Amino acid sequence: MTKAYLKRAEVAELLGVPTSTIKHWEHSVKTIGRYVKQNVGGGRKRYGREAIECFREVQRLIKEKRFSINEIDAYFKQGGLTAVRERREAEVKEIAPTSLNQKMQIQVELEEAIKKLEELKALL
């Protein structure tokens, strides 16, 4: 995202959803409203980074966790954007070591395969 604030249509395109979905989420999940910049000329709204983070979390909760809008609203009321950021940081910490361990395991397996190939080559 290069602009500081995006239009509703730009946020919808970014998330791959209709603009009506963004409007519905904004009105149904009250916490998101505090991250929306109001009345940017002509009564139009703009959405900053924080609002987009919230929309992404709403989308994730609907798709992955099958939360209802009421459950999502309660989720945001309990922790809001802070909870979203903490969850993402925890996921990154959890994923990073796993990826490193997987890479190391693959490297060991490749070294063993190379050693076996060299042994077979020596027999020829």
Quickly state the pLDDT bin for 92 (edges 50, 70, 90): low
pTM exceeds 0.85? no
Q: What is the 3-state secondary structure (H, E, C) of the chain?
A: CCCCCECHHHHHHHHCCCHHHHHHHHHHCHHHHHHEECCCCCCCCEECHHHHHHHHHHHHHHHCCCCCHHHHHHHHHHHHHHHHHHHHHHHHHHHHHHHHHHHHHHHHHHHHHHHHHHHHHHHC
In the predicted structure, residue 97 carries a pLDDT above the cut 60: no
Taking only the tens place, the pLDDT of each residue in 38-71 is 666 777 888 888 888 889 989 998 998 898 888 8
